[in-house]
Copies of this chain bind each other. A is one copy, B any other.
Amino acid sequence: MDRSKALAALSALAHETRLDLIRLLTPAGDEGMAAGQIAETLGLAAPRLSFHLSALEQAGLLRSRKVARNVFYSVDPRGLGSTIAYVLNHCCCDHPEVRAACSHGVGVLQGAVAGSGTDKT
């Protein structure tokens, strides 16, 4: 993953609706969900949904496949993984706290790790 791809992926993630899409589609696994079902679940107008799905797909975070008259969208875990890896390796590889947050989950951040930095919040 190069810099421009990582930037495209980060830009794609930096939007509420698209983050909703990722969150909705992740549990659906490789099968994914049809656009219509997504639209109904999230209450989105069709063109708006298409716009955001397309953005995510272009950024390499989603895949699509056509079945009859439906289009099924599913997350591309490698797209997400390499995006996060890019941030980790190019921005914070020297910070053990960041890696710890990734390895152990968000719970760690709310106390344990906080001790090693400044006590903000």
Contacts and interface: CB of A to CB of B under 8 A. Distances in A.
Interface in A101-121: 101-103, 105-106, 108-109, 113-114, 117-118, 120
**A interface: dominant SS:** helix
Interface stretch (A38-46, A47-55, A80-88): A80-88
A81 B14 contact: no
- How many protomers of this protein does the assembly include? 2
A92 B26 contact: yes
B106 A82 contact: yes
A71 interface: no
Contacts of A91: 19, 22-23, 26, 75, 80
Contact of A14 (B3, B7, B86, B100): B7
Contact of A95 (B23, B80, B99, B108): B80
27 contacts: A1-B109, A3-B16, A6-B19, A7-B15, A7-B16, A10-B10, A19-B90, A22-B91, A23-B90, A26-B91, A26-B95, A27-B94, A77-B97, A77-B98, A78-B97, A78-B113, A81-B97, A81-B98, A81-B99, A81-B102, A82-B109, A84-B101, A85-B105, A86-B106, A88-B105, A102-B102, A102-B103
